[in-house]
Structure 1
Amino acid sequence: MDRAALRGDLRAAVPDATAALVITGAIFAFLYYRVADGSSATVAVMPDLADAGAYWMYWLCQAFGWSGLLWAWLTTMLGLMRSAKPPRWLPVPVSRLERWHRCTSLTTIALMFAHAALFFAERVRTNKTGAGWPGNLWRAFVETFVPGGYASGTGKIAILIGLLALYLAIPLGLAYYFRARLGARIWRALHRFVLVVYVLSVWHTLLYGTNVWFDGWPRDTLWLLQLPVLGLLLARLLTPARPAERFGAGLSPVAVLRRAAALLAVLLGAAAVVYAVVSGSDGGRTPGAHHGAPLNVTQAMVWGGTAVLAAAAVVAVLLARRVERAAVLRSGA
């Protein structure tokens, strides 16, 4: 593990993490105010949360969730800018973009963990198992940190997706500090899967977050923020920073097909975002619907997708290792 690089990035992330905490506090104040003045749509659906003072840990948990999504958006944007061919007008060097990307990634992981930890604390406080503190702690731990452990309402899917995002973010985000052991090609192959963490975070928050029971500009703005991500991803696919990955650089037919499939997915994603904004229907929370959107996704589907993702990661690593070994043999010859 490159401990020196990690220590340096942690020190550099202090201003970034401080800004994240300030913004989290502002979001918490906003959510708290909405509960206090009766305008929170969450309280309209779950009136037992109307006492903002009694449930302050829940609202702080939600605030960390929203700032976590914001920082996930920020670090994803920086990462895509770094991995695409830098435009001439870029005001900062690429090395600084990369440093910012690593620092915001560390802050994002911390915010995600704080979001989960506060939900755990709230579940410990409110759980009534009849088994005392040990029973309350165990049940809260299972519901918060065990994928699939939360077994009621939309939490069956929402918390499962959120946990998968957290548990994928930690190894994929920290893999950079093991790149000397993994090898550059294997690290890059793994790091590309970090986009799945962002997709899961958006899915978890925008479709299942309990503070998205509203219409209008807030939801539209959150969806429109996905268009710059898709635009940068499109630029990354068409003009990667590495010349060897660009079209016309001798890519294999399989690589071209894979790139074409990714381009098609990006265009479909952009169309879906535009449809969600124009139609006002995104499959998430809708005002006036007491139980929100129906659960048209099952845990079995999510686990099936996770298995496919794991298989794809293994294949990517094996292919990268084969290319790495071939390069070593060529250099030895």
Structure 2
Amino acid sequence: MSETTEPASAARRRSRVDRATLRADLRRLIPDTGAALVVTALIFAVLCVRIEAGTSQTIMVMPFLADLREYWLYIVCQAFGWSALLWAWITIMFGLIRSSAPVSGSPITHARWERWHRVTSLTTIGLMFAHMLAFFIELVRADEEGLGPGGRFLSAFVDVFVPGGYSTGTGQVAILIGLIAFYLAIPLGLAYYVRSWTGPRVWRVLHRFVIVVYVLSVWHTLLYGTNVWFDGWFRTVVWLLQIPVAALLLARLLAPLRREERFRWSGEELLGRARALGVAGARLALAGTLVLLVGVVATGNDGGRSPDVPAGEMLVDQGMVWGGLVVLLLILGTAVAMAWSRPPRGGAARERERAR
């Protein structure tokens, strides 16, 4: 008995990670990462040209950064941040298209959308890390406080990689938001490769929360990106790109791919009625968000900073962000627990068959 069960349990342990798909995606990652690095280099060049021309908001906020020879690493950090946000937008779009009902006559299959979504997700995580790493190296290099090699390394590590470690100015909230996005992106983005262990239902529940990572990334950029520090066309473009995301997310709720996710009012089950109300509320919220986004793009004003007006007190502090994270984790944990405890579809029928 032990001779037959031992290899079976070992096989189950080995199959917890979908290594075949992961290896295939890593091979596809080479051209995608190459394209991302080219785009990052182009963004770096554009940012440098804007600084040299004196049209960059960055030097309006921090004039000393006009010295590109001294602070080029900070511009590299900015370039990686923008390319990471662009790839996050791309992968979110791919994912929403993949999870919506297919369009008749589409030349691209859902399987291909899914492959593109997985690969661009991996690239996005890498670009986010590169964004952080460039900032970390810049802080270590600058050593503005004269801490010495060990002290400045530790100080930079806390500022860049420890949530809540950055404690001055807007960064104490903005960097915390960015770090939460990065640390959530890793398990939520990579959950696909362990779906044989978690089960497909739990994986789907986890992966749906990836949209939160994207929202936090956009919030981090609008709050701390000195290129969009003040209202203007550059900031408006960021808002403009959110319109197709919100529209696709609304389409995803209106016409989901999976039959069991389609809206239906259940008069018998309390859980079914609650779910239907939740879906209806989400649809209304997204419709309202679309109207708001169109208004922001049309007016070019989102209530952000203005160069001629002193910045007021921040509306959100670290305590609020931590509280929001706790609420999010509680919701996520509850959703996962419910998905884990539910039997697979057809499980009741199989149990009845066994009882006979």
For residue 256 of structure 1, what is the aligned residue in structure 2?
A: 276
> Is 1:9 matched up with 2:29?
no
Q: CA RMSD in A?
A: 1.7
Q: Which residue of 1 aligns with 2:153?
A: 137
Partner residue of 1:41? 57
Structure 2, unmatched stretches of 5+, are 1-16
Partners of 2:233 and 2:300 within 8 A in 1: no
Q: Contact (CA 8 Å) 1:286, 1:293: kept in 2 or not? A: no
CA contact (8 A) 1:243 1:249 kept: no
Shift of 1:190: 0.7
Report the CA distance between 1:325 and its aligned residue.
5.8
- The Cα of 1:326 is off from its aligned counterpart by 7.5
1:169-188 alignment to 2 at 5 Å? 169-188=185-204
How far apart in 2 are the matches of 1:270 and 1:297? 23
**Structure 1 unaligned spans of 5+:** none
Aligned 8 A contact 2:181 2:216 in 1:
yes
Aligned residue for 2:227, secondary structure, equals coil
Secondary structure of 1:230 counterpart: helix
Q: 1:155 aligns with which of 156, 171, 180?
A: 171
TM-score (norm 2): 0.89
Which residue does 1:332 correspond to in 2?
A: 351
**8 Å CA contact 2:41, 2:79 repeated in 1:** yes
8 Å contact from structure 1 (residues 169, 197) kept in 2: yes
1:32 aligned onto 2:52? no
Correspondence for 1:317: 336
- Residue 299 to residue 178, structure 1, CA distance change in 2 (3 Å): same
Task: Summarize the Cα distance change of 1:16–1:165 in structure 2 as closer, same or farther, 3 Å threshold.
Answer: same
* SS of match in other structure, 1:297: coil
Aligned partner (choices 286, 292, 299) of residue 318 of structure 2: 299
2:7 paired residue number: none
The separation in 2 between residues aligned to 1:262 and 1:184, in whole angstroms, is 23
Is 2:264–2:276's contact at 8 Å kept on the other side of the alignment? no
Q: Deviation of residue 293 (structure 1)?
A: 6.0
**Which of 70, 73, 79 is residue 57 of structure 1 equivalent to?**
73
Sort the Cα spacing of 1:294 and 1:212 in 2 relative to 1 into closer, same or farther, 3 A: farther
User: 1:135-284 alignment to 2 at 5 Å?
Assistant: 135-248=151-264, 252-284=272-304
Distance 1:43 1:270, change over 3 A: same
Cα distance in 1 for partners of 2:114, 2:125 equals: 17
The DSSP-based 3-state class of the residue aligned with 1:53 is helix
Instruction: Give the 3-state SS of the residue equivalent to 1:225 in structure 2.
Output: helix
Structure number with bigger Rg? 2
Conserved in 2, the CA contact under 8 Å of 1:71 and 1:107?
A: yes
CA contact (8 A) 1:185 1:324 kept: no
CA separation of 1:202 and 1:14: change in aligned 2, threshold 3 A: same
Mapped to 2, the partners of 1:264 and 1:249 lie a distance apart of 16
User: What is the aligned partner in structure 1 of residue 14 from structure 2?
Assistant: none
**Percent identical:** 55
1:96-128 CA-partner distances (Å, limit 9, x unpaired) = 000000000000000000000101011111133
**Count of matched residue positions in the alignment of Structure 1 and Structure 2:** 332
**Range with bigger deviation, 256-265 or 157-166:** 256-265
